[in-house]
Amino acid sequence: MNVYVIGAGSSGLTCAIVLARRGFKVYVIEQNNKIGKKLLLTGNGRCNYWNENQEITKYHSKDLDIFKIIYNNTKEEVLPFFQSIGIMPRINNGYYYPYSNQAISVVNALVNTAKNLNVKFITEEKVLNLKKTTKWEIITDKNKYLADKVVLAMGSKAYLKNDIYNGYELIKKLGHNLTSIYPALVPLIGDNNFLKDLAGVRSEVILNLYIDKQLKAQEFGEVQFTDRGISGICSFNLSGMINESIAKEKTVEIGINLVPWFKKNKEALIEFLDNQEQVLTNYTLSNILEGFLNYKIVNVILKKIKKDINTKWQEVNKEEVVNILMDFKIKVIGTKDYDNAQICRGGVVLKEINPYTMESLKVKDIYLVGELLDVDGVCGGYNLGFAWMSGIAAGKGIK
């Protein structure tokens, strides 16, 4: 029996290896000339391939069948799988990286293992259509192939740059339904007069996400301000929800707590600044704030309250200043596009696949894995984690 895997990314390569170890004749079709192209970019080239904290809250899907995929025995097989292909982990607070700290180590391990198992790679061919005769006929822009089983591991249209993506079209031709698709893990675009003044500033903050004025989510971490918005892991984690909300014409704002180290309320912060002024005799408000804030942020605060650098703390509306420090509002009007996104939110409806084998419930002998499905995770090894889990599940599920 032969199996064709369409897509030589994380889930496709994993599935191919599991199948080859079980004795199947496996072929992998990849439209690029380079295998594992997107995998090489993960974790800033370091490849954060797993996280020991596998709480379901780290994943998003519109379907609770995600529980069945993540919490079956496949989760327990990921680390042994990596051990079996020779990857030694470097573990930092539960985050797994290859010990070399290079994504290419993971790509090479996957490819070398597959080749040693006689997996055949067909590169620089784009799959245009799938037809069922006595077998599955795979039609590319150059050839035709016959397969007993087909695994679709084509990923999403995130970060393709100039590549053309047709995975969703192939899925629709097979009769599958897709949820709405949005860029995710992507920088935010804001509407705020002060963003250009903050461009280049990095700061550890708490981000509060307000949708129609209601607090819906919160993230902690470092952000980088750009002349158009906000970048950084904590903002990336909110981007999928933001795009969904904007598509539904909801108002979206980010409230930035610029003093995350201050764990008390606004009244206590006023008292803290009162004490600072007593200790720092003859200091201006600007001098006091620069004790814990980037000077560009301080200048923006002065602009917002319409005061100059010579203004003293006792000369301002204290509540106004503290509100800015603890909840600096930026209206979010969107995010950057798919070419700048690490992943996509949305995909094939999970109810249309068998969550234990990843086989299509619409079309026999077709299997779907990885980012093609309506599953996405936060930053920290979760999206790759789902790729490995779904690839292993399909590799074991094919009979």
Residues 211 and 105 in one domain: no
Residues 265 and 353 in one domain: no
**Tens of pLDDT, residue by residue, the chain (399 residues):** 999 999 999 999 999 999 999 999 999 999 999 899 899 988 888 999 999 999 999 999 999 888 888 877 788 999 999 999 999 999 999 999 999 999 999 999 999 999 999 999 999 999 999 999 999 999 999 999 999 999 999 999 998 876 778 899 999 999 999 999 999 999 999 998 999 999 999 999 999 999 999 999 999 999 999 999 999 999 999 999 999 999 999 999 999 999 999 999 999 999 999 999 999 999 999 999 999 999 999 999 999 999 999 999 999 999 999 999 999 999 999 999 999 999 999 999 999 999 999 999 999 999 999 999 999 999 999 999 999 999 999 999 999
Largest CA distance in the chain: 87
* Burial category of 263 from C-beta neighbours within 10 Å (exposed 0-12, middle 13-18, buried 19 and up): exposed
Residues 76 and 175 in one domain: yes
d(C-alpha 110, C-alpha 314), whole Å: 63
Q: Which of 312, 336, 360 lies at the terminal end of a domain, its last residue?
A: 336
Residues 67 and 176 in one domain: yes
Residues 226 and 244 in one domain: yes
Q: What are the structure tokens assigned to 338, written together? A: 């798919």
CB-based contact 361:350 (threshold 8 Å)? no
d(C-alpha 135, C-alpha 131), whole Å: 8
Contacts of 77 (CB under 8 A, 6+ apart): 392
What is the pTM for the complete model shown?
0.94
Residues 127 and 275 in one domain: no
Q: Quote the domain boundaries for residue 192.
A: 187-336
Residues 192 and 168 in one domain: no
Residues 21 and 89 in one domain: yes
**Domain count of the fold of the chain:** 2
Residues 221 and 156 in one domain: no
Residues 161 and 219 in one domain: no
Three-state secondary-structure class, residue 358: coil
Residues 329 and 367 in one domain: no
Residues 170 and 207 in one domain: no
pLDDT at 70: 82
Q: Which amino acid is at 4?
A: Y
CATH of the domain at 86: 3.50.50.60
CB-based contact 173:226 (threshold 8 Å)? no
Strand partners, 370: none
